[in-house]
Amino acid sequence: MKRRTLLTLALTTLLTLALTVAVTGGCARPDPTPSPREDRMTSTADQQLLAAASTGDATGVRTALAAGADLEARDARRRTALLLAAANDQVEAARVLVEAGADPDALDDQHDTPWLVTGVTGSVAMLEVLLPAEPDLTIVNRYGGISIIPASERGHVDYVRRVVRTGINVNHVNNLGWTALLECVLLGDGSGAYQQIAEILVAAGARVHLPDREGVDALEHARRRGYDEIVTILSR
C-alpha cells in the first residue's frame, strides 16, 4: 500500500510538471508589471516634458515639471529633455531645465551629452546656459572627441573662441588620432573661418607639430592642401 501511494504521488508530480511546461513553454512567465522607473518613462508628464524641451516651449517645460515629470526622463534614443533642448538650440527651455538641476552630462545611445552637442551646433548661447551646470568637459563622444573638435571641424569660429576660455584641452586626441587643429586643417576648406580657428587654437596653446597616426602634423597637412594662409599662421 505504501509503495502504491508513493507511485501515485510521483505520477501526480510528473503530470503537474508536464502541464507547466506545455503552458509556459518551459520558461517562467515574465512579470508583466513594469518597474516604477519604466512606468515613469511612459508617463504623460514625461512625454510632455520631452516634447516641450525639443520645441523650445519653456512654459510647457515648467508645466510638465510641476505635474511631476522626471527631470531626467528619456526618449527612445535615451535623450533627456536637456539634450533635446541643446540639440535643437532651444536656449530658454534649456535654461529652465538647468535651473531645475538637469544633468549636462547625461549620455544618450550615441554617446552624446547636452554639452557635447554644443560643439556640433556651435551655439555659444547654449554653451553659456550649460556652463553654470558645470558640465564635464572631458567626456568624449562616440569618436573619442570633446566638444572643441567637432566645432573646429565645422568652422564654428565664435564657439571655438569661447570654449578655449573654459580650460578645455585644446590638444585632446580623438579615436582617429586627430586634435582640434588637425581637424580644422584636414576637414576644413582653408577658408576664412578655418583660418580664424587655426589662429585661436594656436593662441590657446594648440601644438602645431603634434602629428597624426601617419606622423604628419597640421602644418604639413596645410602645405599639402595649399592652405597658404593657414601655413603662415602655423609657421609663426
Higher confidence at residue 13 or residue 202? Answer: 202
**How large is the average pLDDT for residues 133-142?**
98
Task: Report residue 142's pLDDT band, with 50, 70 and 90 as the boundaries.
Answer: very high
CATH topology of domain 37-106: 1.25.40
How far apart are the C-alpha atoms of 87 and 80, rounded to whole Å?
11
User: Would you say residue 8 has pLDDT above 90?
Assistant: no
Q: In the block, which residue shows the cell 551646433?
A: 121
Task: Report residue 170's pLDDT band, with 50, 70 and 90 as the boundaries.
Answer: very high
Question: Where are the CATH 1.25.40.20 domain residues in the chain?
Answer: 37-106, 137-236
Instruction: List 74's β-bridge partners, or say none.
Output: 80
Q: In percent, how much of the chain has pLDDT > 70?
A: 82
Contact indicator for 163, 151 with CB cutoff of 8 Å: yes
Q: Nearest Cα to 85, choosing from 99, 74, 95? A: 95
Residue at 187: amino acid letter: L
User: Would you say residue 202 has pLDDT above 80?
Assistant: yes
Q: Which class for 215: exposed (0-12), middle (13-18), buried (19 or more C-beta within 10 A)? A: exposed
Residue 1: the pLDDT is 42
CATH topology of domain 137-236: 1.25.40
Task: Report residue 43's pLDDT band, with 50, 70 and 90 as the boundaries.
Answer: confident
pTM: 0.81
CB-based contacts of 219, cutoff 8 Å, min separation 6: 208, 209, 231, 234, 235
User: Would you say residue 234 has pLDDT above 80?
Assistant: yes
Contact indicator for 57, 93 with CB cutoff of 8 Å: yes
User: Would you say residue 4 has pLDDT above 70?
Assistant: no
User: Would you say residue 77 has pLDDT above 80?
Assistant: yes
What φ, ψ does residue 149 adopt, rounded to 5°? Answer: -70, -55
